[in-house]
Amino acid sequence: MSSFEYKARGTDGRALNGRIEAPSRDAAAEQLLSNGYIPVEITEARGSADVGEWLNRKLGLGKPTISELGLFTRQLYALSKAGVPIIRGMNQLASSTRNTRLREAIEEMVDDLEAGRDLAGAMARHTDIFMPLYINLVRVGEESGRLDEAFLRLWEYLEREKKTTNQIKAAMRYPLFVLVAVGIAIFILMAFVIPEFAKVFERFRLELPLPTRAIIALSEFTAAYWWLILGAIGGAVYGFRRYINTDKGRLWWDEMRLRIPVFGSIILRATLARFARAFSMATRSGVPLIQALSVVSRAIGNEYIGKKIVGMREGIERGDSITRTAGQMGIFTPLVMQMLAVGEETGQTDDMLEEVAAFYESEVDYDVGRLAELIQPVMTVAVGIIVFILALGVFLPMWDLTQIAGR
């Protein structure tokens, strides 16, 4: 995908210029024509800034954070609530938005709105920024004449989403830090410390026990081929990241994350809280049930759970109730199933889903708060075993040395 700078004229003769991404110059011209603009000049964008922008897009950098998207949504709510015309409001937001990609997207949406496209349709051309749930709720708000209410609910949802994301990150941060620190310490021991002990043992020509010989052999390999080990680790990380970015790899990794001891349970409940909150908001906003399940399955950030939600949609299409299909998925607790059943019987499923989300969020808050308390014993035992093995291998020959020195 290349970047092109264009000069064009609208149907009213107004001159326009900007930048557009397309596979070729002809494709850029076709895209401008489809938007109702007559291209006058199209040139390929060049320069170091373009290279940096291209790298950012390839690496997934520069994308608006959930906080920036939440602020944008809150501003849209305030403007629409005050009765400011949407095009005028979007122009104001484009001039005050700091994120480059979001500002460019707003400017392109303004062009689409001026060309007669609706807001949801304009947002649908930027799926890298706006998730399907966001676009569908905006569409429902436009059709029902309650766009301000749609923006308010989206802002509240994004705020809760930010909290859930931070909770998941907090759950994974501590063990990753410990594992990295232990890995670095073992690498330093193997590459620099143990080889010095090996020289001492070699000088006295001791008959070394098996654990010591194994540790020294591993240490010598580490000292000689440390560059190969680091390269293999880097290659493995790169390959892993490439694999989990594929459809099959993402599905596998999202399922594996849920099976990690302690953390898997926290991630599962945080994801289910996200699902319940999004599904409740979608149904309460007037999105049809089947469509709500479809868009929510792509908005919760876990392909494995998303596949389960698609299974719920298929069950409902066959005529089953929400409670029965949810029970067949095997991911909800009995208490939640009871709440869903009550909600379905009373016609207040959206309210019950809000309670489900609050229930799971409170559990996640509690477990994240005592995460260090849960993990510390496990980490202590693991580090203790590693240190014991290393110390055993090093100090067994040292014991023989003290006996030789005492003779």
Dihedral angle of Cα 151, 152, 154, 160, to the nearest 10 degrees: 160
Distance in angstroms (rounded) separating the CA atoms of residues 276 and 358: 9
Buried/exposed 315-332: b ≥16 CB within 10 Å, e otherwise: bbeeeeebbbbbbeeebb
Alpha carbon separation from 197 to 1, 186, 200 (Å, rounded): 57, 15, 5
pLDDT surpasses 80 at 78? yes
Model pLDDT, residue 235:
94
Judge if 272 and 335 occupy the same domain.
Answer: yes
Closest CA to 75 of 98, 57, 42, 52: 98
Q: Is residue 205 scored above 90 in pLDDT?
A: no
Mind listing the pLDDT tens digit for each residue in 258-289?
888 777 888 888 888 888 888 887 788 777 88
Q: Examine residue 53 and state whether it is found in any structural domain, yes or no.
A: yes
Residue 347's Cβ-count burial label (10 Å; 0-12, 13-18, 19+) is exposed
DSSP state letter for 286: T
Q: Where does a domain end: 159, 174, 208? A: 159
Pure H helices in 83-193: 86-96, 100-114, 119-123, 132-144, 147-188
Q: Is the confidence at residue 84, as pLDDT, over 60?
A: yes
**DSSP H stretches of helix in 23-131:** 25-34, 48-58, 66-81, 86-96, 100-114, 119-123
Taking only Cα atoms into account, the Rg of the chain, rounded to an integer number of angstroms, comes to: 29
Q: Which domain holds residue 312?
A: 263-369
Contacts of residue 59, Cβ cutoff 8 Å, sequence gap at least 6:
none
**Number of folded domains in the chain?**
3
Number of neighbours of residue 283 by Cβ within 10 angstroms = 19
Instruction: Specify the DSSP element, H or E, that contains 7.
Output: strand 2-9
On average, the pLDDT of the chain sits at 79
Residue 281 corresponds to which tokens in the numbers above?
Answer: 């908001």
Overall pTM > 0.85: no
| Residue 234 domain flag | no
Last residue of a domain, one of 106, 130, 159: 159
Q: What is the pLDDT of residues 325-377, one digit of tens each?
A: 888 888 887 877 888 888 888 888 888 888 888 888 888 888 877 776 777 77
Same structural domain for residues 275 and 356?
yes
pLDDT higher than threshold 70 for residue 89: yes
Q: Is residue 377 part of a domain?
A: no
Most confident of 19-28, 55-64, 304-313: 304-313
- Note the pLDDT tens digit of each residue in 161-175: 787 777 767 767 777
CA distances from 234 to 60, 218, 227, 228 (A): 19, 20, 10, 10
Min mean pLDDT across 29-38, 73-82, 182-191, 352-361 is at 29-38
Within a domain: residue 277? Answer: yes
